[in-house]
């Protein structure tokens, strides 16, 4: 089966991911669960080489030859856009392909917290969306940027690896830069972005010291900076940002970070009880004075207490969000406990 036919089947099955490895038939992830189609033949070495040639450019192939790793995007007209990761395993090519819809979902369609609409219209500051891989961080960011695009006239510059959702200029103008094809690195692109008259900067992943340092500086100089991190709660996100700096700089960074932070949203996806898909649970940390003070003093372990007691301000812990979903009979208690960082606290809430 040609790769385009597999991608059409992937969309028809409503799968989020397609896994291709030599010696195994194609596997699809549907609503978070991997499944195989017994009618499809195992992928051969020749198949994998043909797939690689079909979905990559000459530049992609050069990058892969140098790094033995590749993240890129592939579009199939009338079907969808796909994020592609290529790796080597046991000397053969392997692929993980994720579906990225053509149409950017809205905040309402995604059932995101309504605070997202307020946050994306902030004139300056730093907003982080965190969560494990595959938890929908990019989709949340895309929905927020689309709301801004529909509402305000801003210059938005994104740095992504690779570009996933395609944004079209509405009220705002949006420039999307692809790591590898449009720029060499997050930190270099971000440094030059500051000279491109941006109002809003989106960093696909804040993964290293130069990128995080420049992002904080950009937020300090009057820009709204959006970024993602792979952490499982807001407290961990704060610690990750601070700990990446040398010990002798961390007190100063705590002060700077506490001043520029606007919010941290942490999300995870759980299967619905009725088996029709997945639902997101959100932890919401807003930078009210008490939060800024705890970050400045290095008392991040106290942030969950502030979130739990500040629901009127729009905050909630992940356990509170999970408890609401269980009580609404959208998810099972067992799945909620698996995602909780404090199962005992969750059980109390239930």
Task: Say what the pTM is.
Answer: 0.90
pLDDT tens string 235-282: 999 999 999 999 999 999 999 999 999 999 999 999 999 988 899 999
Instruction: Name which of 99, 70, 72, 75 is nearest 86 in CA terms.
Output: 70
pLDDT tens string 139-158: 999 999 999 999 999 999 99
Angle 45-55/3-12 helices, nearest 10 degrees? 80
pLDDT tens string 253-262: 999 999 999 9
pLDDT tens string 89-139: 999 999 999 999 888 999 999 999 999 999 999 999 999 999 998 899 999
Q: Which domains does the chain have, with CATH numbers?
A: 3-100 (3.30.450.90), 115-349 (3.40.50.300)
Sign for the pseudo-dihedral over CA of 241, 115, 219, 150: positive
Contacts of 320 (CB under 8 A, 6+ apart): 307, 308, 311, 349
pLDDT at 162 over 90: no
Cβ neighbour number for residue 108 with a 10 Å cutoff: 11
Residue indicated by tokens 């007209």: 77
pLDDT at 286 over 90: yes
| pLDDT score, position 299 | 97
Cβ atoms of residues 18 and 97 within 8 Å: yes
pLDDT at 38 over 90: no
| pLDDT score, position 123 | 97
Instruction: Name which of 279, 275, 299, 295 is nearest 287 in CA terms.
Output: 295
| pLDDT score, position 275 | 85
CA pair distance 206, 9, nearest whole angstrom: 34
Contacts of 56 (CB under 8 A, 6+ apart): 64, 70, 72, 86
Average pLDDT, the chain: 95
pLDDT at 341 over 90: no
Band of pLDDT at residue 181, cut at 50, 70 and 90: confident
| pLDDT score, position 54 | 95
Cβ neighbour number for residue 263 with a 10 Å cutoff: 23
pLDDT tens string 326-339: 999 999 999 999 99
Question: How far is residue 88 from each of residues 52, 67, 197, 317, measured CA to CA in Å?
Answer: 12, 10, 40, 39
């Amino acid at each position: 089966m040609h790769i385009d036919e597999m991608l059409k089947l992937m969309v028809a099955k409503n799968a989020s991911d397609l896994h291709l490895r030599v010696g195994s038939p194609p596997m699809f992830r549907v609503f978070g669960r991997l499944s195989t189609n017994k009618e499809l033949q195992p992928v051969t070495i020749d198949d994998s080489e043909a797939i690689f040639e079909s979905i990559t450019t000459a530049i992609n192939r050069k990058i892969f030859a140098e790094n033995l790793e590749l993240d890129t995007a592939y579009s199939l007209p009338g079907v969808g856009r796909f994020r592609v990761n290529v790796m080597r395993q046991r000397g053969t090519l392997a692929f993980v392909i994720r579906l990225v819809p053509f149409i950017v979902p809205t905040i309402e369609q995604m059932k995101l917290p309504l605070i997202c609409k307020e946050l994306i219209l902030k004139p300056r500051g730093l907003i982080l969306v965190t969560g494990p891989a595959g938890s929908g961080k990019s989709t949340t960011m895309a929905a927020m940027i689309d709301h801004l695009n529909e509402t305000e006239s801003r210059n938005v510059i994104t740095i992504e690896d690779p570009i996933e959702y395609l944004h079209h200029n509405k009220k705002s103008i949006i420039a999307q830069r692809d790591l590898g094809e449009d720029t060499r690195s997050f930190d270099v692109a971000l440094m030059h972005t500051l000279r491109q008259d941006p109002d809003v900067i989106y960093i696909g992943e804040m993964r290293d010291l130069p990128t995080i340092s420049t992002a904080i500086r950009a937020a300090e100089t009057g820009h709204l900076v959006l970024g993602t991190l792979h952490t499982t709660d807001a407290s961990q996100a704060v610690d990750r940002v601070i700990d990446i700096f040398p010990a002798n700089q961390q007190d100063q960074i705590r002060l700077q970070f506490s001043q520029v932070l606007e919010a941290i949203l942490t999300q995870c996806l759980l299967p619905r009880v009725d088996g029709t898909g997945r639902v997101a649970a959100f932890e919401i940390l807003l930078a009210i004075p008490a939060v800024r003070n705890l970050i400045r003093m290095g008392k991040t372990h106290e942030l969950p207490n502030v979130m739990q007691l500040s629901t009127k301000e729009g905050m909630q812990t992940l356990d509170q969000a999970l408890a609401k979903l269980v009580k609404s009979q959208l998810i099972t208690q067992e799945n909620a406990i698996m995602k909780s960082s404090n199962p005992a606290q969750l059980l109390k809430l239930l």
